[in-house]
Amino acid sequence: MMKHWLLAARPKTLLAALSPVAIGTQMAWVDSEFHLLAMLATLACAISIQVGTNFCNDYCDFHQGADTESRKGPTRAVQSGLISPRAMLIATIIAFAITGGSAWLLYVRAGWPFLLLGALSIFLGVAYTAGRFSLAYLGIADPFVLVFFGPVAVAGTQYIQSLQFDGATILAGLGPGLISTGLLVVNNLRDIDEDRIANKRTLAVRFGATFSRYQYAACIMGAAIVPAIFAISQGSWPPALACLIALPGLLLVRNVWRSSGTELRPCLGMTAGILLLFTALFCFGLGLG
């Protein structure tokens, strides 16, 4: 049973939650403003939001007909009968309750904006797939992923520890935000046929596979440029080490351009690998700088 819940949590996507927290924490550490309890509360909030969103996605896509036996992506727990809809709904509520509790701890440390941010994150996690007018079904999820898994998460993590806003966190957050958006693009490109049938109007469905491939290339190559711009703005070259993701990134873009359907499955994991590499190199560069 535990392996079924692990499958539903979609571990590969958790990097999208962990990466901006790691970068924001490293920025606080470099400035000698690291705060362990604040970091742990932020981490709990980020992971529970991602898990709760994945659980809600599993539950809602099943009820709305987006998950069928012809699905090309990873097995969905509810659709495959591994977990009952009721159990998945309860798990979704529990995950978002953890988000709420973590947001309360952040509120105690830094004030009401973080309680509001926690509430907004829960709302967006539910609104991502709940209902025919959800973010995913309307095809407007991409900018929310870019902003909330990028600048908002990095800036929020750094601020909750230092209690001071650093404008550089917005620029730094564009890297993980763009790659996380790339994860979504690959997912939507892989599922384009099933989503079209289910009337799930992702950008891939609205504008076609070629558009999504260009979008993916822009996300990965854009993320590779961000560290150079950051290094120039800060007058310190080491963070530019993260530009090295351009090398495997170009190979991955080529794979995405040449693949479709089930052939795109490995690309999702490799994109998560690019995100991990970016995070490691950027954090290492911040430490050297």
Per-residue pLDDT tens digits for 154-186:
999 999 999 999 999 999 999 999 999 999 999
Cα 120 to chain centroid distance, Å, stands at 16
d(CA 225, CA 127): 31
In this predicted structure, what is the pLDDT of residue 102?
93
Given a contact cutoff of 8 angstroms between Cβ atoms, the answer to whether 271 and 252 are in contact is yes
- Reference 118, options 212, 205, 42, 195; nearest CA is 42
d(CA 285, CA 207): 38
Domain segments of the chain: what residues? 9-288
In this predicted structure, what is the pLDDT of residue 98?
95
Query: What percent of the chain has pLDDT above 90?
Result: 62
Letter string b/e over residues 130-167, b meaning 16 or more CB atoms within 10 A of that residue's CB: beeebbbbebebbebbbebbbbbbbbbbbbbbbeeebe
Q: Which tokens sit at 36? A: 């362990």
Question: What mean pLDDT value characterizes the chain?
Answer: 89
Q: Which tokens sit at 255? A: 């794979």
Q: Name the pTM for this structure.
A: 0.91
d(CA 284, CA 23): 10
Tens digit of pLDDT for each residue in 241-268? Answer: 999 999 999 999 999 999 888 899 899 9
